Structure 1
């Protein structure tokens, strides 16, 4: 496989709004609420990203929907919190939905956030009305390694040690080198890079390791709600492998962007907003 796409797939694992809701410390995320409406949308950002990544998206929907914008603990300046695992974050987002009595809910997730949206819709189908997955796969590592299987006894200590021992300059250079692979819109490189630099290094390392080990393929047949999957333009070259990963998702609509890379909301703005609007507002 082309080394460029291999690196991009790995690195994609890697506060504009004033908070209007102070979330309890039990939740491993902060929440910012914008807009109003009988129906709600929860926006989940990707790895090491701020909820600010949804800024322009929220503007399109806040007049008719109550928008809950998450920033996960330890990412983009948000205070870190243990335990740092994909499954804990999944279950706590579900608890937030139940505790806040959020109904008519649409989940929108980018990258790792798309994985969380899939997992929530599969494990708590009664809570979700629709989901949108923005450039995420059920098993990211399986795209480059068809024999990939999750390790139930995964030890992330070496990766944590490696990331924590990196100097700030080394970490900066590593993250900076990934920007052209993740995003064509150079005007947003510094913003996204800043989110990574503001992230807690232990959280970064543990979630990088844990999400790399995540495989949601066997859960997809439990998703009952309509699902829109938006994928970056380059992924059309891997369409058979992607469709194989998603074969158990019976409710999915799949769309490939016309241009751009992983951060579709910055690289193919008009196409992305049009697809999102058609899906979310359809009844």
Structure 2
């Protein structure tokens, strides 16, 4: 009898440990869950952006979809985590999908978030239902250098040192100069700059450096799901180079915005929502 009691206690202890582990498992992002639809959308924001970048998009679809809106660790005031990397974030999102038994979600990613959507659909094709890539490329660096090759051991420390050396005023001024090249809607400029300023400087530098060293051009051949690629207005002028990067993505549906810049959801909202509505509900 004593032997069985010991075994039962050991079993209960193990179950308790597993339960605690499940409750405390951390992911490299915060999540806002809304809506109660049968189909799921996971919104992945871009570089140094908050999940709020999807507010208008989510409002248009959460009546019909369950929505998970992410804000990545270290961005827009979310607490940073050690060792941020594109690879860790990709695997973290995939783990979240598996752990929460989310069946074939639609991944919608902007900028670096679009790169993460491509990477997840490439490495975990069984997890993904559809993807929407909002103004992102498989290899950002190759747009200016078509012969670009990723470095195996890329040293991001110089960029981290440079970014951390700036005081808040200098950093804010830099972002104020940068954002008008990415966002035409002036009513949103202060908000988007503020997200950058609230971002952890180490995460900001390491993720920019890491993403710029990422090349998914070969990997995307593994993507099997329907893929909508929404691109900013100016990119129509670079169509051969842009679509050349996507040569291996056989399911790609390319659509170019009618106006605006990188933040398509703000600069060409009506067109953008119409494209999403058609793709998500088809």
TM-score (norm 2): 0.91
User: Structure 1: which 5+ residue stretches go unaligned?
Assistant: 1-22
For 1:104 and 1:168, the matched residues in 2 are separated by 41
Give the deviation of 1:75 after TM superposition: 0.1
Misfit runs of 4+, over 3 Å: none
For 1:167 and 1:31, the matched residues in 2 are separated by 30
1:145 equivalent in alignment to 2:145: yes
1:181 equivalent in alignment to 2:204: no
| Counterpart residue number, 1:13 | none
| Counterpart residue number, 2:85 | 85
| Counterpart residue number, 2:230 | 230
In structure 2, the CA distance between the partners of 1:101 and 1:148, relative to structure 1 (3 Å rule), is same
Give the deviation of 1:104 after TM superposition: 3.3
Aligned 8 A contact 1:38 1:104 in 2: no
Aligned 8 A contact 1:179 1:193 in 2: yes
For 1:237 and 1:24, the matched residues in 2 are separated by 48
Count matched residues: 260
| Counterpart residue number, 2:198 | 198
In structure 2, the CA distance between the partners of 1:184 and 1:50, relative to structure 1 (3 Å rule), is same
| Counterpart residue number, 1:56 | 56
Give the deviation of 1:106 after TM superposition: 0.3
For 1:25 and 1:57, the matched residues in 2 are separated by 29
1:1-283 alignment, distance < 5 Å:
24=24, 26-282=26-282
| Counterpart residue number, 2:12 | none
CA deviation string 1:54-113 (max 9, x = no partner): 000001110111000000000000000022100000001000000000013100000000
For 2:25 and 2:205, the matched residues in 1 are separated by 22
For 1:209 and 1:162, the matched residues in 2 are separated by 12
Over the aligned positions, Cα root-mean-square deviation in angstroms equals 0.9
For 1:29 and 1:133, the matched residues in 2 are separated by 19
User: Structure 2: which 5+ residue stretches go unaligned?
Assistant: 1-22
TM-score (norm 1): 0.91
SS in 2 for 1:217: coil
In structure 2, the CA distance between the partners of 1:73 and 1:25, relative to structure 1 (3 Å rule), is farther
Aligned 8 A contact 1:43 1:70 in 2: yes
Larger Cα Rg: Structure 1 or Structure 2? 2
Relative to total residues, which structure has the larger helix share, 1 or 2?
2
For 1:147 and 1:240, the matched residues in 2 are separated by 15
